[in-house]
Amino acid sequence: MPRYTPEQLHLRNTTIWTKVQFILAPIQFVVFLIGVILTFAFSKGYIKDFTWVTVALAVKTSFLFALMFTGMFWEKLIFDKWIYGPEFYWEDVGSTIACAVHTSYFIAIVYGTAPETLIIIAYLSYLSYVLNAAQYLVRLYLEKQNEKRLRREMKVSQ
């Protein structure tokens, strides 16, 4: 299921937004790992200060929103639609759900939710990230296969 015309593929490979995404995404993954470790450590009693859980999720949420917003610029440039275009609809839906789950943690804090419940919301936030990242990785793999096919076709036609 290819999404790119050869022109869009060239633009995707040369735009600054692709570079930004490829820099932020691995950093977000490291932040995710640190956050999960800190959340697990708190839930098992290895660390006592709940602040670490919240700070870790705040940093993770910042990366998630940064990737969402830079991705919107990327989509506008490549597909001329800010978000929810047909080419990236499900990825955008997944990102929106992940953003909502992450944000719900901070809303729960404002309402004085108990740390035990916040831990569950933190784990759900991390799960939403994993599911969303997995769909991106599958699509990236499929697109790389399509890109190889397009290159073969261009060589044959020359």
Task: Read off the pLDDT of residues 28-78 as tens digits, 9 standing for 90 and up.
Answer: 999 999 999 999 999 999 999 999 999 999 999 999 999 999 999 999 988
In total, the chain counts a number of residues equal to 158
Report which residue type is found at 10.
Answer: H
What tokens appear for 48 in the block?
Answer: 């006592």
Cβ(88)–Cβ(8) below 8 Å: no
Name the residue with higher pLDDT: 103 or 155.
Answer: 103
24 close to 67: Cβ distance less than 8 angstroms: yes
pLDDT of residue 2: 56
Taking the model in full, what pTM does it have?
0.83
Buried b (16+ CB within 10 A) or exposed e, 1-22: eebbeeeebebbeeeebbebbe
In 3D space, the residue among 139, 142, 154 whose CA is nearest the CA of residue 6 turns out to be: 154
Distance CA 90, CA 1 (A): 13
